[in-house]
Amino acid sequence: MAAKIGNLATSKVVQRITGANGALGDAQVRKQNVAAELAERSGAVRYPVVLVYCEKIVNSMVEKFRTFSGALQMAIEVRQSSDRLEGLEDRVEATADAVTQILSASRGDWGDGMYYSGGYQVAFGPVKQGGKNFIQVAKVTFEIGASIN
């Protein structure tokens, strides 16, 4: 049950950030949780890349007679790479800002017993070696409430 709920929530997030109201420009959106080093070794990665995944599922049984009643901790990672340091941080911040704007516009009922209240956190990682020479990651985390029979 938990894996099914996590996959459903991930699909709903991808739907929102890639749909008509969620244009992320030329970003490649993937449903997976993979380290940047592994992604680069496994094949060609086009940057920017946006990874969407479910980090944690908590069935807190808020509604006692539901099969699942709790929260899903979701993550959207924005990865940007460049051969130069100049402008890299600005591009990461711009893409992360686009993600948060999409989330802000998506408050409310998401269907299938899921809803989003609008809160999120953004964490910016340091620039590291990788990708085209340098890589930086911004991670947006948020909760989706779920009440499913």
Residues 6+ away with beta carbon under 8 Å from 20? none
pLDDT of amino acid 1:
75
pLDDT in tens, 54-73: 999 999 998 989 999 999 99
Query: What total of structural domains would you count in the chain?
Result: 1
- pTM, two decimals, is 0.91
Range of the domain at 74: 2-148
* Positions in the chain short of pLDDT 50: none
Judged on CB neighbours under 10 Å (0-12, 13-18, 19+), 20 is exposed
Task: Return the CATH number at 26.
Answer: 3.30.2000
